[in-house]
Structure 1
């Protein structure tokens, strides 16, 4: 019984530590990563002249930690000011799945600017 309680306490502290390692939605490194990746995608794929100029109204929509998935995720939404287009909603997920399981990754979608519907209609997958 004591062993089970000790294992439970250890696993919950590990989960909390992992969640604490995920950067916040408004972390400068997260925003820099997603804006640079969007600029790269624009230059090499979409070629419509639209890039992210500014990000504001940043908020966390949901935090998935210790659930069915072994990967912790922070779901975020913000307003993206765009070049050559009206502002739109930016959805992104920060996940604890960097290279070889070390660090973090960010996936993003600009509402109305996902022509291949990689993240479903209106970025549904990342919401």
Structure 2
């Protein structure tokens, strides 16, 4: 009898521990997000990536690589972690690099990632050019 009571108590504790948390959409918080971020193919997103890539290449790698065009731009996920977290849009594309190669690029457009935390911003990873392994393995940190 005691063993059954103990097992019942453990089951009750385990069940309460895995209950879902309250989900309050980010747009309804006291300091809300508005979830108004550009689409994957938005020119301003792609220009942001192009400029940041060029800056990083010039500053750290000095190989003169540039992203010159994009194709096969596709959304991967919109808010995959839930409505109560910072709005994010995960995207992928094929980038044409000025060395003649085409490389996959994964990127995340996120609210409040802009200058000083205002507006939207984008973080990205070009496959084969993540030389400092910040998004390793294989740019995985830029995918949901």
Using structure 1 for the length normalisation, give the TM-score.
0.80
Does 1:14 find its partner at 2:30? Answer: no
- 2:77–2:91 contact (8 Å) kept in structure 1: yes
Shift of 1:56: 1.1
> Tell me, what secondary structure is at the counterpart of 2:138?
helix
Structure 1: which 5+ runs fail to align?
A: 1-10
Which has the larger displacement, 67-76 or 114-123? 67-76
- Cross-structure match for 1:92: 107
C-alpha distance in 1, partners of 2:87/2:97? 29
Please tell me whether Structure 1 or Structure 2 has the larger radius of gyration of its CA atoms.
2
Relative to structure 1, the CA distance from residue 24 to residue 68 in structure 2 (aligned partners, 3 Å threshold; closer, same or farther) is closer
Number of residue pairs matched by the alignment: 116
Does 1:107 find its partner at 2:118? Answer: no
Q: Which has the higher helix share?
A: 1
After superposition, residues 63-82 of structure 1 pair within 5 angstroms as 63-64=78-79, 67=82, 70-82=85-97
> Tell me, what secondary structure is at the counterpart of 2:139?
helix
- 2:25–2:83 contact (8 Å) kept in structure 1: no
Structure 2: which 5+ runs fail to align?
A: 1-23
- RMSD over aligned Cα, in angstroms? 2.4
